[in-house]
Amino acid sequence: MDRKEFNAILRQTRVLRPPVRRLKTFADTQIGYHLVSEVADGPRLCRLRQGRVLAVRPKILTAETLQERYEGFGEEARKFADMLLSRSREDSLRVLEYKFKNEFGGARLIHEELQTVVERIVADLDERSASYEAVLACPDPSWQFSLLKFTLDETRKSFPENIKELARHDVFDAAGRDERKKSYEIEALFEKAARDPEAVGELGKKLKEFGLFELYQDRFFALFRNRE
């Protein structure tokens, strides 16, 4: 694919009804799509393709996850996606692991004008309050690339909120999260030992296991003094 063909696909791809909701942060997201393309064989003829894109819940990006991201988008999907990324210079796919699978549901010819078909589909989705469904107009031969562009655009829009939610859950601070976990466990054992003398030994072992005995030794020995 050359740059001219690439730009032509971008120009002819139009999102006519975007999803109402963004990609989920802590669960997989399924986006139903309705792709409508004009067919050159007749003045009132278009093709409707339907299916869904599965966006796997985003994770922190590692070197191993840079391999296959785009399943079911065609042989040139990675090249097209790389061209999109170099054009937009977005960091979303370089920071988080987003993985996509296209589950194609089928296609059919409709003997109506494209605008008529689009309006009918949009009205139906709006009536059903379909939060995770989209309608696109796209070039017929390159529909997979249009779908991929739409998917990456949804990723870009979802990225800021995904990052915020992951940060709120300390996903980026693995070391800090581990220290807090140890602290919570130690505090729980101190409370237990204050009620149950037999738990003091368990607390002492855990403090040594975590390498925290010196830090907590005054509180630890105070448990014995309080019982005198």
pLDDT digits (tens, 9 = 90+) for 163-192: 888 877 777 666 666 777 788 788 888 888
Instruction: Give the mean pLDDT of the chain.
Output: 85
Distance in angstroms (rounded) separating the CA atoms of residues 225 and 113: 87
Distance in angstroms (rounded) separating the CA atoms of residues 96 and 89: 15
Do 108 and 48 touch, CB atoms closer than 8 A? yes
What's phi and psi for 86, nearest 5 deg?
Answer: -70, -30
Task: Look at residue 6 in the predicted model and tell me its pLDDT.
Answer: 87
Query: Could you tell me which residues come within 8 angstroms of residue 9 by beta carbon, excluding any fewer than 6 positions away?
Result: 138, 139, 142, 145, 146, 149
Mean pLDDT for 88-97 is: 59
Do 162 and 21 touch, CB atoms closer than 8 A? no
pTM greater than 0.85: no
Q: What is the pLDDT of residues 109-129, one digit of tens each?
A: 999 999 999 999 999 999 999
Q: Which uninterrupted H or E stretch holds 7?
A: helix 3-12
Do 219 and 190 touch, CB atoms closer than 8 A? yes
Mean pLDDT for 48-64 is: 81
Q: What is the pLDDT of residues 127-143, one digit of tens each?
A: 999 999 999 999 999 99
Domain boundaries defined on the chain: 3-168, 174-225
Task: Look at residue 203 in the predicted model and tell me its pLDDT.
Answer: 92
Distance in angstroms (rounded) separating the CA atoms of residues 37 and 48: 7
Task: Look at residue 50 in the predicted model and tell me its pLDDT.
Answer: 98
Helix (H, G, I), strand (E, B) or coil at 192: helix
Measured between alpha carbons, how far is residue 67 from residues 100, 151, 179, 201, 203 in Å?
12, 18, 32, 49, 45
